[in-house]
Amino acid sequence: MKRVCARMLLGLAVMMTVGSVAQAKVEITSEHEKRINEEIGSLIGANNQIGKVKVDTIVVDEKARRIDVEFSKELAYLSIDREMAGRIGGIVAAELPAEASRYKVNISVGGWLLEQLTTVPKIKIKGPTEKDRFVHHEEGPRAPKGLDGANIALWQSHGYYYEPSLNRWEWQRARLFETVEDLYPQSYVIPYLMPMLENAGAYVMSPRERDVKRTEVIVDGDGGLAWKGYSETGDGWGDAGVEGFAYLKSTLGDNDNPFKAGRARCVKTVKGGKGEATATWSAIMPQAGEYAVYVSYASFPTSAKDARYTIHTTGGDRHVTVNQQMGGGTWIYLGHYPLAQGEQAVVTLSNVSSKAGSIVSADAVKIGGGMGNVARYVQTEKAEKEGIEGSPIVSGYPRYTEGARYWLQWAGMPDSVYTPSGNVQDYSDDYRSRGLWVNYLAGGSSVLPGAKGLKIPVDLSFAFHTDAGTTPNDSIIGTLSIYCTTSNGSNKMANGTPRIASRRYTDIVASQIVADIRANYEPNWTRRAMWDQSYFEARVPEVPAMLLELLSHQNFADMRYGNDPTFRFTVSRAIYKGMLKFLAERDGRPYIVQPLPVHALGIVYDGHDGDAAQYTMSWAATDDKSEPTAVPTYYVVMERVDGGAFREVSRVNSPEYKIKVTDNKIHSYKVVAGNDGGISFPSEVLSLRAGAGAPDVVIVNGFTRVSGPDTFDAGKIAGFNSERDGGVPDVLDIGHIGKMYEFRRDIPWMDDDAAGFGASRADYEDRVIAGNTHDFVYTHGVSIAAAGKSFVSSSVEAWTNAKAAKEPMVADLILGKQKEIQVGTGAYGTKYKCFTPELQKRITDYTAAGGSVMVTGSYVATDIWDNPYSTKETQEIDKKFATDVLGYHWRVGQSSVEGTAFEVPSRFKEFGGLRLSFYNTKNADSYVVESPDGIYAADSEKGATIMRYGENNIVAGIATDAGNYRTVVLGFPFESIMSGADRNRLMEQILQFLNK
């Protein structure tokens, strides 16, 4: 056998005798190597930035008639499917000498054969063997071809932590581009990824708090600081004989474990209703809202596998069964639920079970997120030398902002999990605790037998990061993914699965992310390496594990995409799809992807049948071009009456629902699409209010925009222009920290407090920012109802494309912060234009038929007169529509910073006397209006000024009488008015004017 190092072949000709002397010789030269390397480089392409792949060694085994070609480690960084593997093999075969064709050629990298690195590796991946589910939502989605029964552990990067050397709490990363990595991945994980996985039937566990509310209510029978709302009914309750939770201290110090401070309760189960015993946790909630609900209990070998919890919500009771043989002694998340303000029973646990004689345990209930309560102080050698003495301090931030190390202490994990440093170094404790937590969850289950833990059969772990580096120009850093194939000297997990299974998992997820980004946002999105590296979060978990560096939060080019909510949705969906496909492949079963949200929702009036007003609500399924399985097979219709909570009222197989209403309350609806892979996110919300006859008003929701802030690039300076437009969060934003203030590209990073280009303020980093709730039809409807009018509603798409036979002759068009934008470089065009050609035609036809229109929004004029994405021809058409049909002209954008307006006398006597304020700074209650429009009446003969801004008297609103129809246009959104009374009064005036 002879070994040839290709790195030493440069300029040399190496002769290798292959087979017997009588056979021809195989001559391999540096030219062969060069051609192989060139062809492989061409195959990989520019957008797969994995480093230079080259031949590392060649070994010829004359006896075995085999040639082994070992490539450099960079080849393993590449996603290699069967086609790619075949092409690599073809390149090697084509570029070796012809005589080599008589030999078997093995291609390997890092000790793994190429075939083992393909998308269908020849390895056996073992899943959990437990048959009983851990947590099951009885009203939840049925997803037999989704993720039913899967248990997934995932986390969203770092978090706020205590730094001993500075004796302060701080972020683990710098504040850049209006976010920080400790918060930024949460804007994917909490609003999108976790719900997607749950909608597919999975149970998701996190080592960080997942409720962003500052409110936290603890209910427990042990007293202390907990709300004393615990009660029991029935016979048989007693002390469980083990430690349980108790809230005895407002803050936790070193090694304090609240789950060892109290006692748990227990009772034996009964089969059937006879002998039922219950435990109930009641609380006084300071305000209505949707709260996370957690429970705790003790686990025993004889614990019930179906402990039944009932959560009493404002939308009706919800039922969750928990296998209490797993998960005892920590907080177990049951879901987010709408709760009323005031005193109420929140959770009830029953001892009724499918098997009598088991044990049901009851301990504490936690409601909401709360504030951080772990107090930290470490006396450093420097402080001791200088005679400085300190005392433990809490972060002062909401718990969801803090790192895993603190949540895990509050959740009762052993100190060996949350502080392996022994309370000395929180930074390393934080990243180490996450992998240790995964193993503690799984300890004692089939995936980690023989280990101490909570016996939860964890299927996957996932670490979400965005720390991928920077570039001096506007090139995209892109997506890097990390796995590990060796831990403690072994290449197998505890259940015998080869650790290279993590590579397969990583490959599927990363490939899905890059493919979906390229298909929807940026065709040149960079696919970086898949590293086999010994990162703690990838190495330690004894389950298939992946660490994702999605993009670079430090890089402007990446964050032009990364600050966009629709991008976050797409990436999160790609991660969910990747996990689904990996687990389906592991189990050898087909999969179905949950549908996308429906669109084109509309409600039309059909007439009256006696006292009942009849309507038809229709919608359209959304095609997922990248996933042919993501087709709805049914739809869930949800209804809300007035300000209550949504309840399921129907399941239908076609995209239509018939509505009958016999009262004059406001009925609101949303639709969820479903299939055997799970359920979609809900649609926008539409509403109606019945009257004695046909509805008086149609509310048209044209505010569909969710987006990141404005951007600009002027060469030496660039960044996010939140002063002009801070974007529109999707419902809410938990990753925004403040406005960017350092726009000079050449300012370098010096430390995290002096972050250089992209440096941003910190005034919002502990606050939730409101966005587009997709429910503003209801806000408008409340004011229309207060004026005594009835209404129906429609999405702008449905209203534009269809005309109802019995259409109201007053239209209220909601435009909010709608304006035309592009995401990133705009490779796939623009979206969110206020008045599309189709909408212009619809309004023109509507007004020609005598319909009057109310239009409100902060860019109703700027999006026409000052739109950088319009051609000159388009702009002229748009201007003519605004002036000739709606009756207004642009004066100026960014017309107000104080957020006040007042009515002025005009010939239209319906208006006058009203002074109001609208939201002009970021807050948790309403999206912010930074740049309201200044407008004026296009025809002074027909129109008049009805409202001006408070600080400068620029026109804020106009009214026009065009003869056969009337219009009212406001340069700020109606729903952004702070006072409900002001909204009602203004709507009453507008309707009086439009109905004349």
Query: pLDDT (tens digit, 9 = 90+) per residue, 163-175?
Result: 999 999 999 999 9
Cα separations in angstroms, 608 against 454, 690, 791: 59, 10, 14
* Strand 342-350 versus strand 278-285 pairing type: antiparallel
pLDDT at residue number 51: 78
- Asked if residue 23 has pLDDT above 80, the reply is no
In this prediction, residues 54-72 reach a mean pLDDT of 85
CA distance 873 to 838: 16
Instruction: Check pLDDT > 70 for residue 939.
Output: yes
Please, which contacts does 620-625 make with residues 24 or more away whose CB atoms are closer than 8 Å?
620/655, 621/595, 621/655, 621/673, 622/595, 622/596, 622/597, 622/598, 622/673, 623/596, 624/593, 624/595, 624/596, 625/519
d(CA 227, CA 988): 45
Per-residue pLDDT tens digits for 306-363: 999 999 999 999 999 999 999 999 999 999 999 999 999 999 999 999 999 999 999 9
Q: What pLDDT, on the 0 to 100 scale, is given for residue 6?
A: 39
Q: In the prediction, which pLDDT does 247 show?
A: 98
Predicted confidence band of residue 26 (pLDDT cuts 50, 70, 90) = low
Pairing label, strands 66-71, 55-61: antiparallel
Higher pLDDT, 905 or 10: 905
Structure tokens at 654: 């076609």
- Mean confidence (pLDDT) of the chain: 94
- The more confidently predicted of residues 488 and 471 is 488
**Would you state the pLDDT for residue 38?**
87
User: How many CB atoms neighbour CB 312 within 10 A?
Assistant: 18
Whole-number pLDDT of residue 805: 65
Asked whether the beta carbons of 279 and 300 are under 8 A apart, the reply is no
Query: pLDDT at position 507, please?
Result: 94
- Output the pLDDT for position 398: 98
Q: Could you tell me which of 825, 882, 828, 880 has the C-alpha nearest to residue 859? A: 882
Confidence of residue 8 (pLDDT cuts 50, 70, 90): very low
Per-residue model confidence (pLDDT) at position 311:
98
pLDDT value at 560 more than 50: yes
Share of the chain above pLDDT 70, in %: 96
Higher per-residue confidence, 23 vs 707: 707
Q: What is the pLDDT of residues 807-850, one digit of tens each?
A: 999 999 999 999 999 999 999 999 999 999 999 999 999 999 99
- For residue 119, the model assigns a pLDDT of 58
| Residue 479 pLDDT grade (very low, low, confident, very high; cuts 50, 70, 90) | very high
pLDDT beyond 90 at 18? no
Does position 927 have pLDDT exceeding 80, yes or no? yes
Which residues, in sequence order, are bridge partners of residue 888? 937
Confidence grade of residue 212 (pLDDT, cut at 50, 70, 90): very high
